[in-house]
């Protein structure tokens, strides 16, 4: 296996609440490399009114992180996306190019607030799918409308949505309830992607190794490879999973 993908991350400096400097980004990239990560999709927040960095600055930051990654390890591959917080204008943002899809594909990482109701999630995802996008629900374990409700997640998957969970949730970083829930999702094969959601070098570091070990132990190396490499590889090629 050529290394894990990190499909949800905040390595880009000074654009959101993630990395605060180029030096921190370098340290995060080294941590990622040491965790076995070889491909990273940068997903800086786009959330009005808090994080609204314009596309031109995001594109510039992308080039900066690619250059830093080459200094850390020439084998690191860097892609660009956004973590797009739900807004009634989200479809317009995507269609106008105001925000990035994942690696310039039809996949888009969509974040919902903790308290957003299920009907809102369903309507948003249905709208995006009808417009030709493939929405990925960011850190599904942090959506109260979905936590503990795998039947709803299965319904959204059947609608055409995809599911991402955070690597740290498998080791309890989001609490026992979320940990138990994602383990259940794994057993029901309701997870498409895993991301570190890394923001810094202290409490939100780029973890992946322990998650990979868990997936391999419980479901075997083939399953682990599908979630941490095969699915993301198809995604950046804009292929169906």
Q: Which domains does the chain have, with CATH numbers?
A: 4-236 (3.20.20.140)
Please give the pLDDT value at position 176.
Answer: 85
Nearest to 111 by CA among 193, 8, 199, 210: 8
Sign of CA dihedral 105, 21, 174, 228: positive
Nearest to 116 by CA among 76, 156, 65, 166: 156
Q: Is-above-0.85 flag for pTM? A: yes
CA 135 vs CA 34, 90, 95, 162: distances in Å: 30, 11, 14, 6
Strand (E) or helix (H) holding 85? strand 83-85
Please give the pLDDT value at position 172.
Answer: 83
**pLDDT tens-digit series, residues 37-73:** 999 999 999 999 999 999 999 999 999 999 999 999 9
**pLDDT tens-digit series, residues 164-214:** 999 999 888 878 899 999 999 999 999 999 999 999 899 899 999 999 999
Please give the pLDDT value at position 199.
Answer: 96
- Sheet with 37-42, strands from edge to edge, namely 4-6, 37-42, 77-80
pLDDT over 90 (residue 226): yes
Q: What does the angle CA 210 – CA 22 – CA 39 come to, to the nearest 5 degrees?
A: 40
């Amino acid at each position: 296996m050529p290394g894990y993908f990190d499909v949800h991350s905040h390595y880009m400096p000074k654009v959101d609440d993630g990395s605060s400097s180029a030096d921190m980004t370098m340290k995060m990239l080294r941590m990622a490399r040491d965790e076995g990560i070889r491909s990273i999709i940068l997903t800086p927040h786009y959330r009005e009114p808090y994080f609204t960095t314009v596309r031109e600055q995001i594109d510039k930051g992308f080039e900066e992180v690619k250059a830093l990654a080459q200094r850390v390890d020439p084998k690191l591959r860097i892609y660009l996306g956004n973590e797009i917080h739900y807004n009634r204008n989200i479809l317009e943002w995507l269609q106008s190019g105001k925000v990035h899809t994942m690696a310039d594909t039809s996949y888009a990482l969509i974040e919902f607030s903790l308290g957003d109701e299920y009907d809102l999630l369903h309507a948003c995802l249905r709208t995006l799918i009808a417009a030709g996008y493939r929405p990925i629900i960011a850190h599904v374990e942090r959506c109260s409308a979905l936590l503990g409700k795998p039947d709803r997640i299965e319904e959204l998957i059947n609608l055409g949505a995809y599911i991402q969970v955070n690597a740290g949730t498998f080791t309890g970083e989001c609490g026992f309830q979320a940990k138990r829930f994602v383990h259940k999702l794994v057993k029901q094969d309701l997870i498409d992607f895993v991301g570190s959601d890394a923001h810094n070098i202290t409490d939100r570091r780029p973890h992946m190794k322990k998650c990979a070990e868990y997936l391999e132990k419980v479901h075997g190396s083939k399953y682990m490879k599908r979630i941490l490499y095969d699915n993301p590889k198809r995604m950046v090629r804009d292929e169906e999973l």
